[in-house]
């Protein structure tokens, strides 16, 4: 359980000591607070906020300004937790200088500890430039939601020897470019295990099994809030969607029946003032 904000060195040491780092996404102040209180090692302000907060069908419409705005709230909620800002679609693909500038915004405006971007060899120039700018940057390979169109949908990756070998090469290139860590999404566990064993830097899994240096999950999945679809790798630890609907319905029902608000939810007039008021109103 995290008691102070971890550093890159702590995360590296956790890998070397085979201690699992646990992280979760958060997009707002309260979730970040709860994540910190639960002892998360890291928080990702994922561009999954497009689906979890804004109701988009994917992450492509998410903007830099939205990511900064939510990262600021998360930082306020979790001052003592390592926070990663997720670079949204077209914030780093267009050019290397734009990638460095946008990564810098996360640090300057939202106070994150690191940024993450999706892709393998094709984003290594950006990773190197961001790292050369003195910023911590994490890679993300496997199922990369921003390019899910190219991948043919939200599908598992690296299931054949040839595609797994490409992922392993991407992972190596990302480390060589200067990333401090790598996230592997929706890939068979044995492929993630090979990547973890080959790389010096920490390799984290979301939907890539247990052979990793840590696990990431999306908060809305863990809480059972997100309803549009449930990936195979998701375990719901709560059913907050139904609990929320039940609470709203109970409030509506009690309001309509007059059971709410009860006496204990109302303010009392100062003794004798009601009588004074009624006589005042008669004048
Ligand atoms: O945006 C996000 O939450 C992510 C995860 C899907 C890994 O990038």
Per-residue pLDDT, 171? 98
Strands 181-185 and 21-25: unpaired
Q: What angle do CA 239, 242, 246 make, to 5 degrees?
A: 135
Q: Choose the residue to mutate in 24, 140, 186, 229 for probing ligand 1, maximizing ligand atoms within 8 Å of C-beta.
A: 140
Per-residue pLDDT, 4? 87
Please identify, by atom number, the ligand 1 atom nearest to the C-alpha of residue 44.
3
Q: Is the CB of 218 under 6 A from ligand 1?
A: yes
277, 160: one domain: no
Find the 129 Cα to ligand 1 centroid distance in Å.
22
Q: What is the pLDDT of residues 103-126, one digit of tens each?
A: 999 999 999 999 999 999 999 999
219, 109: one domain: yes
Tally the domains of the chain: 2
Q: In this structure, which residue's CA is closest to atom 2 in ligand 1? A: 46
Per-residue pLDDT, 109? 98
Q: Give the DSSP letter string of 169-212.
A: HHHHHHHHHT-SEEEEES--HHHHHHHHHH-SS-EEEESS-SSS
Quote the CA–CA distance of 263 and 251 in Å, as a whole number.
Answer: 16
The residue assigned the tokens 């970040």 is 32
Helix or strand (DSSP H, E) at 134: none
Q: Where are the beta strands (DSSP E) in 21-70?
A: 21-25, 42-45
Torsion sign, CA atoms 7, 84, 241, 222: negative
Q: Choose the residue to mutate in 185, 186, 207 for probing ligand 1, maximizing ligand atoms within 8 Å of C-beta.
A: 185
Mean pLDDT of the chain: 97
Q: What is the pLDDT of residues 66-96, one digit of tens each?
A: 999 999 999 999 999 999 999 999 999 999 9
Quote the CA–CA distance of 183 and 84 in Å, as a whole number.
Answer: 12
Q: In this structure, which residue's CA is closest to atom 8 in ligand 1? A: 46
150, 229: one domain: yes
Q: Which of 123, 110, 187, 193 is nearest to 155 (CA)?
A: 187
User: Which phi-psi region, left, alpha or beta, contains residue 86 (left: φ > 0; alpha: ψ -120 to 50)?
Assistant: beta
Is 130 a member of any domain? Answer: yes
Q: Which of 43, 77, 82, 49 is nearest to 63 (CA)?
A: 49
Q: Which of the residues 185, 238, 254, 263 is marked catalytic?
A: 185
Please identify, by atom number, the ligand 1 atom nearest to the C-alpha of residue 118.
8
Quote the CA–CA distance of 239 and 136 in Å, as a whole number.
Answer: 35
208, 278: one domain: no
Is 1 a member of any domain? Answer: no
Mean pLDDT of 160-167: 98
125, 253: one domain: no
Find the 46 Cα to ligand 1 centroid distance in Å.
5
Q: Is the CB of 185 under 6 A from ligand 1?
A: yes
Quote the CA–CA distance of 74 and 68 in Å, as a whole number.
Answer: 10
Tell me if residue 185 is catalytic.
yes
Indicate whether 14 pLDDT > 60: yes
pTM: 0.95
Q: In this structure, which residue's CA is closest to atom 3 in ligand 1? A: 46
Quote the CA–CA distance of 44 and 170 in Å, as a whole number.
Answer: 22
Indicate whether 228 pLDDT > 90: no
17, 127: one domain: yes
118, 177: one domain: yes
**Prior bond to 261 cis, omega within 30?**
yes
Q: In this structure, which residue's CA is closest to atom 5 in ligand 1? A: 46
106, 175: one domain: yes
230, 267: one domain: no
- Where does the pLDDT of residue 29 fall: very low under 50, low under 70, confident under 90, or very high at 90 and above? very high
260, 203: one domain: no
For residue 92, give every residue at least 6 positions away whose Cβ sits within 8 Å of its Cβ, in sequence order, or none. Answer: 98, 99, 102, 103, 117, 123, 126
Find the 254 Cα to ligand 1 centroid distance in Å.
39
Q: Is the CB of 46 under 6 A from ligand 1?
A: yes
Find the 154 Cα to ligand 1 centroid distance in Å.
12
Per-residue pLDDT, 1? 52
Q: What is the pLDDT of residues 54-69, one digit of tens each?
A: 999 999 999 999 999 9
- Where does the pLDDT of residue 50 fall: very low under 50, low under 70, confident under 90, or very high at 90 and above? very high
Quote the CA–CA distance of 280 and 251 in Å, as a whole number.
Answer: 36
CATH code where residue 30 lies? 3.20.20.60
Mean pLDDT of 22-42: 98
Domain coverage including residue 254: 243-282
Indicate whether 192 pLDDT > 60: yes
Please identify, by atom number, the ligand 1 atom nearest to the C-alpha of residue 206.
7
229, 254: one domain: no
Quote the CA–CA distance of 275 and 220 in Å, as a whole number.
Answer: 53
231, 167: one domain: yes
Is 3 a member of any domain? Answer: no
Give me Rg for the CA atoms of the chain. Answer: 23
Q: Choose the residue to mutate in 117, 192, 218, 230 for probing ligand 1, maximizing ligand atoms within 8 Å of C-beta.
A: 218
Helix or strand (DSSP H, E) at 83: strand 82-86
Find the 140 Cα to ligand 1 centroid distance in Å.
9
Find the 247 Cα to ligand 1 centroid distance in Å.
29
Is 2 a member of any domain? Answer: no
Is 162 a member of any domain? Answer: yes
Cβ atoms within 10 Å, residue 89 = 19
Indicate whether 2 pLDDT > 70: no
By 3-state DSSP, what share of the chain in percent is helix, strand and coil, each rounded to 5? 45, 15, 40
């Amino acid at each position: 359980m995290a008691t102070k904000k971890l550093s890159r060195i702590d995360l590296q040491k956790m890998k070397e000591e085979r201690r699992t780092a646990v992280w979760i996404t958060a997009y707002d102040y309260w979730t970040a607070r709860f994540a910190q209180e639960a002892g998360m090692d890291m928080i990702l302000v994922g561009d999954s906020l497009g689906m979890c907060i804004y109701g988009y069908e994917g992450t492509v419409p998410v903007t830099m300004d939205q990511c900064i705005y939510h990262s600021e709230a998360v930082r306020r909620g979790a001052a003592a937790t390592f926070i990663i800002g997720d670079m949204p679609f077209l914030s780093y693909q267009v050019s290397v200088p734009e990638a460095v500038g946008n990564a810098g915004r996360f640090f300057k405006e939202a106070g994150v500890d690191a940024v993450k971007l999706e892709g393998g060899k094709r984003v290594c120039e950006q990773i190197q430039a961001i790292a050369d700018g003195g910023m911590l940057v994490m890679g993300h390979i496997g199922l990369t939601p921003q390019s899910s169109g190219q991948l043919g949908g939200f599908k598992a990756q690296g299931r054949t020897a040839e595609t797994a070998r490409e992922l392993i090469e991407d992972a190596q290139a990302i480390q060589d470019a200067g990333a401090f860590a790598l996230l592997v999404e929706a890939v068979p566990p044995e492929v993630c295990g090979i990547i973890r064993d080959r790389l010096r830097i920490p390799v984290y899994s979301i939907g890539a099994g247990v052979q990793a240096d840590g696990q990431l999950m999306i908060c809305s999945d863990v809480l059972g809030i997100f309803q549009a679809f449930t990936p195979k790798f998701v375990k719901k630890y709560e059913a907050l969607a139904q609990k929320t609907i039940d609470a709203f319905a109970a409030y509506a029902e009690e309001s309509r029946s007059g059971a709410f608000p009860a006496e204990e939810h109302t303010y009392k007039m100062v003794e004798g003032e009601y009588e004074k008021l009624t006589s005042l109103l008669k004048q």
